[in-house]
Amino acid sequence: MYHFFLGDVHFPITPESFEVKIGSNNKIVNLLTGEDINILRAPMLKEISFKAILPEDKYPFCSNYGGFVKGSKIAERIKQMKTNNETVQFIVFRSRGLQYLGHTNIKVNVEDISIEESAEQGFDSVLRIRLKEYRLYFTRTYTANADGSLSPTGVKTEMSEKSGAGTVTVKSGDTLWDLAQRYYGNGSQYMKIYEANRDKLDDPRLILPGQQLVIP
Protein backbone atom coordinates (compact mmCIF):
# COMPACT_ATOMS: atom_id res chain seq x y z
CA MET A 1 0.00 0.00 0.00
CA TYR A 2 1.20 3.50 -0.81
CA HIS A 3 0.32 6.74 0.98
CA PHE A 4 1.18 10.16 -0.45
CA PHE A 5 1.65 13.15 1.86
CA LEU A 6 2.50 16.76 1.06
CA GLY A 7 2.96 18.58 4.36
CA ASP A 8 -0.33 18.25 6.22
CA VAL A 9 -2.16 16.97 3.12
CA HIS A 10 -2.83 13.26 2.67
CA PHE A 11 -4.04 12.40 -0.82
CA PRO A 12 -7.21 10.28 -0.49
CA ILE A 13 -6.59 8.60 -3.85
CA THR A 14 -2.99 7.47 -4.27
CA PRO A 15 -1.44 8.78 -7.53
CA GLU A 16 -0.60 6.03 -9.99
CA SER A 17 3.02 7.16 -10.23
CA PHE A 18 5.43 9.98 -9.56
CA GLU A 19 8.64 11.08 -11.23
CA VAL A 20 11.82 12.29 -9.55
CA LYS A 21 14.19 14.14 -11.86
CA ILE A 22 17.80 14.86 -10.84
CA GLY A 23 19.64 17.18 -13.21
CA SER A 24 23.38 17.75 -13.49
CA ASN A 25 25.46 20.84 -12.73
CA ASN A 26 28.61 19.33 -14.27
CA LYS A 27 30.60 21.58 -16.59
CA ILE A 28 32.45 20.52 -19.73
CA VAL A 29 35.70 22.46 -20.26
CA ASN A 30 37.71 22.39 -23.48
CA LEU A 31 41.47 22.44 -22.83
CA LEU A 32 44.08 24.08 -25.05
CA THR A 33 45.15 20.59 -26.07
CA GLY A 34 41.73 20.06 -27.62
CA GLU A 35 40.67 17.60 -24.93
CA ASP A 36 37.39 17.90 -23.05
CA ILE A 37 37.21 17.38 -19.30
CA ASN A 38 34.12 17.10 -17.15
CA ILE A 39 34.19 19.15 -13.93
CA LEU A 40 31.93 17.32 -11.51
CA ARG A 41 29.65 19.41 -9.31
CA ALA A 42 26.88 18.72 -6.83
CA PRO A 43 23.69 17.59 -8.60
CA MET A 44 20.83 19.98 -9.18
CA LEU A 45 17.86 20.07 -6.84
CA LYS A 46 15.45 17.17 -7.33
CA GLU A 47 12.19 17.84 -9.14
CA ILE A 48 9.15 15.72 -8.33
CA SER A 49 6.02 15.65 -10.46
CA PHE A 50 2.82 13.64 -10.34
CA LYS A 51 -0.90 13.73 -11.14
CA ALA A 52 -3.56 13.11 -8.50
CA ILE A 53 -7.35 12.86 -8.55
CA LEU A 54 -8.97 15.09 -5.91
CA PRO A 55 -12.38 13.55 -5.07
CA GLU A 56 -15.34 15.56 -3.82
CA ASP A 57 -17.04 12.43 -2.46
CA LYS A 58 -15.59 9.70 -0.28
CA TYR A 59 -15.41 6.63 -2.47
CA PRO A 60 -14.94 3.14 -0.96
CA PHE A 61 -11.33 3.07 -2.20
CA CYS A 62 -10.46 6.45 -0.64
CA SER A 63 -8.33 6.63 2.46
CA ASN A 64 -7.45 9.59 4.64
CA TYR A 65 -5.83 9.89 8.03
CA GLY A 66 -7.94 11.96 10.40
CA GLY A 67 -11.10 11.82 8.27
CA PHE A 68 -12.04 12.49 4.66
CA VAL A 69 -11.13 15.91 3.23
CA LYS A 70 -12.81 17.08 0.02
CA GLY A 71 -10.65 17.62 -3.05
CA SER A 72 -11.58 21.32 -3.21
CA LYS A 73 -10.19 21.81 0.30
CA ILE A 74 -6.98 19.96 -0.63
CA ALA A 75 -6.62 22.15 -3.73
CA GLU A 76 -7.01 25.32 -1.63
CA ARG A 77 -4.40 24.10 0.87
CA ILE A 78 -1.88 23.35 -1.88
CA LYS A 79 -2.54 26.76 -3.47
CA GLN A 80 -1.80 28.24 -0.05
CA MET A 81 1.52 26.38 0.11
CA LYS A 82 2.42 27.89 -3.27
CA THR A 83 1.27 31.43 -2.43
CA ASN A 84 3.01 31.47 0.97
CA ASN A 85 6.22 29.86 -0.34
CA GLU A 86 5.95 27.16 2.31
CA THR A 87 8.55 24.40 2.60
CA VAL A 88 6.93 21.06 3.45
CA GLN A 89 7.78 17.38 3.47
CA PHE A 90 6.86 15.23 0.49
CA ILE A 91 6.46 11.67 1.78
CA VAL A 92 5.54 8.47 0.00
CA PHE A 93 5.05 5.72 2.59
CA ARG A 94 5.13 2.09 1.47
CA SER A 95 3.81 -0.78 3.57
CA ARG A 96 2.23 -4.21 3.44
CA GLY A 97 -0.12 -4.44 6.41
CA LEU A 98 2.04 -3.36 9.35
CA GLN A 99 5.22 -4.34 7.52
CA TYR A 100 7.25 -1.26 6.65
CA LEU A 101 8.66 -1.34 3.09
CA GLY A 102 10.41 2.02 2.97
CA HIS A 103 9.56 5.59 2.17
CA THR A 104 10.56 8.69 0.23
CA ASN A 105 10.92 11.82 2.35
CA ILE A 106 12.08 15.08 0.76
CA LYS A 107 11.67 18.68 1.91
CA VAL A 108 10.14 20.59 -1.00
CA ASN A 109 8.38 23.72 -2.11
CA VAL A 110 5.51 23.85 -4.60
CA GLU A 111 6.78 25.11 -7.97
CA ASP A 112 3.81 24.69 -10.33
CA ILE A 113 0.24 23.47 -10.01
CA SER A 114 -2.67 23.13 -12.39
CA ILE A 115 -6.16 21.94 -11.53
CA GLU A 116 -8.31 20.46 -14.27
CA GLU A 117 -12.08 19.96 -14.21
CA SER A 118 -13.98 18.07 -16.89
CA ALA A 119 -17.28 16.36 -17.50
CA GLU A 120 -15.41 13.06 -17.56
CA GLN A 121 -14.29 13.56 -13.94
CA GLY A 122 -17.72 14.70 -12.75
CA PHE A 123 -17.39 16.85 -9.63
CA ASP A 124 -13.84 15.62 -9.01
CA SER A 125 -10.78 17.49 -10.22
CA VAL A 126 -7.29 16.48 -11.35
CA LEU A 127 -4.21 18.08 -9.80
CA ARG A 128 -0.94 18.25 -11.71
CA ILE A 129 1.91 19.39 -9.53
CA ARG A 130 5.64 19.98 -9.74
CA LEU A 131 7.74 20.18 -6.59
CA LYS A 132 11.32 21.32 -6.12
CA GLU A 133 13.66 19.96 -3.46
CA TYR A 134 14.50 22.50 -0.75
CA ARG A 135 17.91 22.38 0.88
CA LEU A 136 18.58 24.02 4.23
CA TYR A 137 21.37 26.56 4.21
CA PHE A 138 23.47 28.16 6.92
CA THR A 139 25.71 31.15 7.46
CA ARG A 140 28.88 31.01 9.52
CA THR A 141 30.17 34.04 11.42
CA TYR A 142 33.86 34.79 12.13
CA THR A 143 35.80 37.10 14.44
CA ALA A 144 38.98 38.81 13.22
CA ASN A 145 41.95 38.18 15.51
CA ALA A 146 44.79 40.62 16.20
CA ASP A 147 47.16 38.58 14.04
CA GLY A 148 44.81 38.85 11.08
CA SER A 149 43.46 35.31 11.33
CA LEU A 150 39.76 34.46 11.58
CA SER A 151 38.04 32.40 14.26
CA PRO A 152 34.54 30.94 13.75
CA THR A 153 32.10 32.35 16.31
CA GLY A 154 29.08 30.24 15.51
CA VAL A 155 26.75 28.87 12.91
CA LYS A 156 23.30 30.26 12.29
CA THR A 157 21.05 27.65 10.74
CA GLU A 158 17.65 28.14 9.25
CA MET A 159 16.22 25.38 11.42
CA SER A 160 17.55 23.80 14.61
CA GLU A 161 16.83 20.27 15.77
CA LYS A 162 16.50 19.06 19.33
CA SER A 163 19.36 16.74 20.19
CA GLY A 164 19.55 13.99 22.72
CA ALA A 165 16.94 11.59 24.10
CA GLY A 166 13.92 12.38 26.28
CA THR A 167 10.77 13.70 24.59
CA VAL A 168 10.19 15.33 21.23
CA THR A 169 7.28 17.25 19.72
CA VAL A 170 6.24 15.85 16.35
CA LYS A 171 6.43 18.35 13.51
CA SER A 172 4.58 18.28 10.21
CA GLY A 173 6.22 15.74 7.90
CA ASP A 174 7.89 13.71 10.67
CA THR A 175 7.76 9.92 10.59
CA LEU A 176 8.99 7.42 13.17
CA TRP A 177 11.68 6.43 10.70
CA ASP A 178 12.92 10.04 10.59
CA LEU A 179 12.94 10.34 14.38
CA ALA A 180 14.89 7.09 14.71
CA GLN A 181 17.37 8.30 12.11
CA ARG A 182 17.72 11.64 13.91
CA TYR A 183 18.19 10.29 17.44
CA TYR A 184 19.75 6.86 16.86
CA GLY A 185 21.42 7.34 13.51
CA ASN A 186 19.44 4.36 12.19
CA GLY A 187 15.89 4.75 10.85
CA SER A 188 15.22 1.01 11.04
CA GLN A 189 15.00 1.35 14.84
CA TYR A 190 11.69 3.21 14.51
CA MET A 191 9.81 0.37 16.27
CA LYS A 192 11.79 1.16 19.43
CA ILE A 193 10.09 4.56 19.57
CA TYR A 194 6.72 3.04 18.66
CA GLU A 195 6.89 0.49 21.48
CA ALA A 196 7.73 3.25 23.98
CA ASN A 197 4.66 5.21 22.89
CA ARG A 198 2.03 2.49 22.47
CA ASP A 199 -0.28 4.45 24.79
CA LYS A 200 -0.35 7.30 22.23
CA LEU A 201 0.09 5.51 18.90
CA ASP A 202 -2.21 2.93 17.34
CA ASP A 203 -0.24 2.62 14.12
CA PRO A 204 3.54 3.13 13.61
CA ARG A 205 2.74 4.66 10.22
CA LEU A 206 0.71 7.48 11.72
CA ILE A 207 2.07 10.22 13.97
CA LEU A 208 0.52 13.66 14.13
CA PRO A 209 2.02 17.14 14.48
CA GLY A 210 1.97 18.32 18.09
CA GLN A 211 2.19 14.85 19.66
CA GLN A 212 4.73 14.49 22.48
CA LEU A 213 6.69 11.25 22.01
CA VAL A 214 9.17 9.60 24.33
CA ILE A 215 12.55 8.83 22.78
CA PRO A 216 13.88 5.93 24.91
Q: Say what the pLDDT of residue 160 is.
A: 34
Helix (H, G, I), strand (E, B) or coil at 188: helix
Query: Is 210 a member of any domain?
Result: no
Query: Is 174 a member of any domain?
Result: no
Sequence-distant (≥ 6) Cβ neighbours of residue 46 within 8 angstroms: 20, 21, 22, 106, 132, 133
Domain containing 92 equals 1-25+37-135
The answer to whether the pTM exceeds 0.75 is: no
How far is residue 148's CA from residue 163's CA, in Å, rounded to a whole number? 35
CB 190 within 8 A of CB 176: yes
How many CA atoms are closer than 13 Å to the CA of 68, on its beta-carbon side? 13
Q: Say what the pLDDT of residue 74 is.
A: 92
Query: Is 122 a member of any domain?
Result: yes
Sequence-distant (≥ 6) Cβ neighbours of residue 13 within 8 angstroms: 52, 53, 54, 55, 59, 61, 62
Query: Is 71 a member of any domain?
Result: yes
Q: Say what the pLDDT of residue 65 is.
A: 67
Query: Is 148 a member of any domain?
Result: no
Query: Is 104 a member of any domain?
Result: yes
Number of domains composing the chain: 1
Query: Is 189 a member of any domain?
Result: no
Query: Is 60 a member of any domain?
Result: yes
Residue 11's CATH number: 2.30.110
Q: Say what the pLDDT of residue 142 is.
A: 67
pLDDT by residue for the chain (216 residues), tens digit each? Answer: 788 889 888 899 989 889 999 888 888 888 888 888 888 877 888 999 999 999 999 898 887 666 788 999 999 999 999 999 888 889 888 877 666 667 788 889 999 999 998 888 888 999 999 999 988 765 566 677 777 776 766 544 443 333 345 788 888 778 888 888 888 877 778 888 888 888 888 777 778 878 888 888
